[in-house]
Amino acid sequence: MWDSGTTVVHQEIWKGRAWAARPMTVVEDTEERTLLWMPFGTRRKIPLTPSHRPDPPDIHARTIANLDHADWVIGEHTWDVSCLWIVRPDEWHSTWVSWRRDGSHYGWYINLQAPMRRNSVGFGGDGPDA
């Protein structure tokens, strides 16, 4: 278990390649659940379109093209909300609660994902063929 206040890294791997990574602060880590905090302004690593092909016009098309071509490059992005992740062991989803910069509630999000596994620096959520 991680101590409250510890910074951990959540890593996403897709088909054996790094897809994304973000530092998160442990709020609570018990046998029943883990609560992770990612505040507004957090710098994270995300997949980007490589320079050898055109960048699709929106995030959905970009994500599909990057997965289809499997040639993404890793770049930096600044997270634009504050987010609390609620993760339960062995579940195929996590629940995210988000707030805008001014503190107003932004919304709820259910992230479909493989169960998160612990590793030496935090957590890894691997996709198919990882």
Q: Give the structural domain span for 102.
A: 7-126
Question: What is the C-alpha separation between 28 and 37, in angstroms, rounded?
Answer: 10
In a domain? residue 98? yes
Question: What is the C-alpha separation between 13 and 129, in angstroms, rounded?
Answer: 9
pLDDT (tens digit per residue) in 83-108: 999 999 999 999 999 999 999 999 99
Separation in Å, CA 75 to CA 36, 48, 90: 23, 6, 30
In a domain? residue 43? yes
Report field, pTM of the whole predicted structure over 0.85? yes
pLDDT at 129 over 70: no
CATH of the domain at 45: 2.40.380.10
In a domain? residue 40? yes
Q: For residue 60, give the H/E element and its range.
A: helix 59-69
pLDDT (tens digit per residue) in 19-66: 999 999 999 999 999 999 999 999 999 999 999 999 999 999 999 999
In a domain? residue 22? yes
State how many domains the chain has.
1
In a domain? residue 2? no
In a domain? residue 1? no
